[in-house]
Structure 1
Amino acid sequence: MKYIYITALLFSSVLGYSQSNVNEVFAAGVEDAERFSDSYFGPVSEGAIYSLANGWYNSADSKPLGGFEISIIGNMTSFKNKEDKKQFVLNTADYENLQFVDGSTSKPVSTALGDLQGINVFVEGGIGPIPIKEEFELPTGLASENINFIPTGFVQVGVGLVKGLELKARFLPKIDTEDVGFGLYGAGLQYDFTKLLPADKLLPIALSAVAGYTHMDASYDFTNSKIVDGSDQRVEVDMNVWSFQAVASTKLPVINFYGGLGYVSGNSTTDVLGTYRVQSGPFQETYTDPFSLTRKANGVVGTLGAKLKIGFFRLNADYSFAEFNNLTVGVNFGFR
């Protein structure tokens, strides 16, 4: 459980680290800040969607009536080699006020996952007859801090019903500190088709269909520094993720292997809230609850894994191949 809370705090800190560094873009005006933030934050939301889609199963062999399993599950969704998610091309023609100091009109810049540093931009204009120019550095991302994965963690419970049907539920009680809020819940179903066969207990494999839904909400409060002042500045994220997979596994006494192929679909809404007062540059304005960002992600996912069973104790690990690859590790306690 301690690991789950640590990963939840780290995930929320991803939001806070990114947002506190991106605030200075408000110096270019709220429209430019919104456009930049959408490209900057988008890959974090996509990675989190794929992360939350994992961990729904460790076998295709559903539990019998009254059987149960309690699991502590951790996900690590990697973006280490995803250069297309760690940077985006900023074209100044798409922005009203933002310009590169070196005179470029288009160049790659970091997303919240990236590590491009030292990219300076400026805005210029005038207050009355006085010309004003403000320079600042665009934010880098998590890879610059040697963080190359997005973590999620939760507790999951599976209970066998009748005729090959298993009900699943996952949750993480709401973490609420002075700066961080994080919580999730979800529900799923697994149906074992091989339970329909008369010789089910003699078959060496099981075949199932699994569907799961996860809802996550997270928030991070922060304060910023030089160019942008403000109060009650925070981001709030609301995320909904669906996972549908066909699963096959062996049915051996101790060590089993499993795999799945399916589809992931999710959406997130990120609300940038609070008051932002631009104190420097030509656009010294105050913005309150300035904008909301939405992002969708969907795609095919394939999973390969193994599970060790020793009495009531089970340990599983699997790796999923998708737009964002993911490592899942589960510690399970159950009775069949």
Structure 2
Amino acid sequence: MKKILSFCLVGLLLSGTKVFGQGDIDIEKILQAGVSDLNTYMGYYVEPAAKGFIYSMGTGWAHTAKPHSTLGFDLKFSVSGARVPARYENFTFDPSEYENIRVKGSNGTTSLPTLYGDPDANGTLEIYEGETLIAEVDIPPGLDIPVKYVPAPTIQGAIGLPAGFEFIGRFIPKVSVEDAEISQWGLGVKHDIKQHIPGIKILPFDLSVLAAYNSLNAKYFIEEDMGQFGEMSLDTWTFQALVSKKLSILTVYGTAGYNTGSSTYNMLGTYSIEGTSESITDPVNLEYDAKGAMATLGARFKFGPVFLNADYTFQEFNTVSLGLGVSIR
């Protein structure tokens, strides 16, 4: 079983994609290099997925700048996909960062694939103990997937409050997907600021600001009866200014703001080291941060209470979002 790969892909289970077992990844041998080297290598390997989730979950909060009237509401299901930039398809293996791992045939830095790199990449990692070569293992290749997007679905509702406020909530109760448990919640507030700016109240567009927080937790059971599992947690914040214009059934909208977030990946439990009688407890602990300015352009089509929206967010991992829902003002 490709244990670490399976656990690192728990987020892909959110979209129902089963992409385990890509390549010949012998984690038991890599464990012989020690916890420090394993975390360094896997930290680079998983980075595009970890950061992609942060950017995916920070989008899709709004499809119009106009808040609901009091007790008006909407409910929608959306999927966002963050495009992995080409520079994240590979990472630079620098032997000075490792104590016991080397790339066979290389005396210096080498470009190796990340999770979203070349699925046909080949090469060999050498595991040393001091100056003694104790094992060789194929380098982990990239996933064999047709598009390099990191997907994230959400279920979101909003309700209008007095004074131009709107409360937004995201919630997915703990559900099981394949061998994973996943839950999500988030809170946001949108407020009409056009009403407070003299001279533009009568102009034919809507203007508001939004602040929102999102949290996602997932657990992947590697060997449940042995207490082996992986955990992923993710937190994001977004701060946005929104403008929109309604034209019959069409609403065009745009946002500008700032997204920030963090994620952690932990592989917990006790694992045997191949070729020894030793074991390692909680071998993987990875932390990631991502932040930066963002801008979104989108459109919403509304047919009675039903709407469909699509938008594109420009940020470090450019993100596409699609939503389907119902809205009653």
Query: Could you tell me the TM-score, scaled by structure 2's length?
Result: 0.87
- How far apart are residue 334 of structure 1 and its match? 1.4
- Helix, strand or coil for the counterpart of 1:324? coil
2:130 and 2:118 map into 1 onto residues whose CA distance is 33
Corresponding residue number in structure 1 for 2:117: 114
Q: Does 1:265 align with 2:260?
A: yes
Q: Does 1:324 align with 2:317?
A: yes
Corresponding residue number in structure 2 for 1:41: 46
2:321 and 2:262 map into 1 onto residues whose CA distance is 21
Residue 98 of structure 1 is aligned with which of 96, 101, 112? 101
- Helix, strand or coil for the counterpart of 2:141? coil
- Helix, strand or coil for the counterpart of 1:56? coil
Cα displacement string for residues 237-269 of structure 1 (whole angstroms, at most 9, x for unaligned residues): 111100011111003331111000110010111
Cα displacement string for residues 123-170 of structure 1 (whole angstroms, at most 9, x for unaligned residues): 23489xxx653110121223x333411111121111010111100001
Q: Residue 7 and residue 335 in structure 1: after superposition, are their counterparts in 2 closer, same or farther (change >3 A)?
A: farther
Mapping 1:120-135, distance limit 5 Å: 120-125=124-129, 133-135=134-136
Corresponding residue number in structure 1 for 2:7: none
Structure 2, unmatched stretches of 5+, are 1-10
- Helix, strand or coil for the counterpart of 1:222? strand
1:286 and 1:12 map into 2 onto residues whose CA distance is 32
Corresponding residue number in structure 1 for 2:278: 285
Corresponding residue number in structure 1 for 2:184: 184
Corresponding residue number in structure 1 for 2:145: 145
Task: State the aligned residue count.
Answer: 316
Deviates more, 1:103-112 or 1:151-160: 103-112
Mapping 1:80-91, distance limit 5 Å: 82-91=85-94
- Helix, strand or coil for the counterpart of 2:188? strand
- Helix, strand or coil for the counterpart of 2:215? strand
**1:247 alignment partner AA:** L
**1:76 alignment partner AA:** G
Q: Does 1:30 align with 2:35?
A: yes
Is 2:37–2:100's contact at 8 Å kept on the other side of the alignment? yes
1:262 and 1:136 map into 2 onto residues whose CA distance is 45
Identity of aligned residues (%): 31
1:306 and 1:9 map into 2 onto residues whose CA distance is 25
Residue 235 of structure 1 is aligned with which of 226, 230, 238? 230
Structure 1, unmatched stretches of 5+, are 1-5, 224-229
- Helix, strand or coil for the counterpart of 2:14? helix
- How far apart are residue 277 of structure 1 and its match? 1.1
**1:157 alignment partner AA:** G
Q: Does 1:276 align with 2:271?
A: yes
Cα displacement string for residues 91-119 of structure 1 (whole angstroms, at most 9, x for unaligned residues): 11221111121133210111122226112
**1:133 alignment partner AA:** I
Is 1:32–1:96's contact at 8 Å kept on the other side of the alignment? yes
Q: Residue 193 and residue 36 in structure 1: after superposition, are their counterparts in 2 closer, same or farther (change >3 A)?
A: same
Corresponding residue number in structure 2 for 1:70: 75
- How far apart are residue 221 of structure 1 and its match? 2.3
- Helix, strand or coil for the counterpart of 1:163? helix
Is 1:212–1:242's contact at 8 Å kept on the other side of the alignment? yes
- Helix, strand or coil for the counterpart of 1:208? strand
Deviates more, 1:178-187 or 1:47-56: 178-187
Cα RMSD of the aligned pairs, angstroms, is 2.7
**1:134 alignment partner AA:** A
Deviates more, 1:241-250 or 1:26-35: 26-35
Is 2:16–2:177's contact at 8 Å kept on the other side of the alignment? no
Is 1:20–1:222's contact at 8 Å kept on the other side of the alignment? no
Q: Residue 286 and residue 20 in structure 1: after superposition, are their counterparts in 2 closer, same or farther (change >3 A)?
A: farther
